[in-house]
Amino acid sequence: MSDAPKSAFELAMERLRKKDAEAGIQEQKLTDQQKAAIAEARSIYEARVAERQILHRSNVLGARSAEERETIDEEYRRDLDRFASDRDAKIRRIRDGEQPS
């Protein structure tokens, strides 16, 4: 064991691990297949966001009024939230051991 002082991050992680152990939560290692599926889910999400960003910019340039711009911006935010929610749900299913769809 090293005599060097621990960083705040290391101390916080130790406390969290101890708290999880007391609560009966076990650390679960991901398989290579799960890691690959999670990476793919994130990649798909990033591609959808990039595609939606391009579409959003195009729509903004064509907006004729402030109200139309607000509507376009709201749709954009809603789409980004939905993409993130879908990605997080898929990653959660992968972590729980379900087959990715």
- For the record, the structure tokens of 51 come out as 């595609």
Q: For residue 80, is it within any domain?
A: yes
Q: pLDDT value at position 67?
A: 96
From the list 43, 31, 48, the residue with the least C-alpha distance to 83 is 48
The owner of tokens 């994130």 is 42
Helical (H) or strand (E) element with 74: helix 66-95
What is the per-residue pLDDT across 14-69, written as a single tens digit (0 to 9) for each?
898 888 788 877 777 889 999 999 999 999 999 999 999 999 999 999 999 999 99
In a domain, 54, yes or no: yes
Flag whether 37 is in a domain.
yes
**Domain span holding position 51:** 31-101
Total domains in the fold of the chain: 1
Would 3 be classed as within a structural domain? no
pTM of this structure: 0.69
Residue 52 located in a structural domain:
yes
Backbone phi, psi, residue 53, to 5°: -65, -45
4 vs 39, residue with greater confidence? 39
> Whole-angstrom Cα distance, residue 92 to residue 30?
12
Cα 15 versus chain centre, distance: 24
Does residue 8 belong to any structural domain of this protein? Answer: no
Q: Would you say residue 2 lies in a domain?
A: no
| pLDDT at residue 100 in the model | 53
| Structural domain includes residue 5 | no
If DSSP codes are grouped into helix, strand and coil, which group holds residue 66?
helix
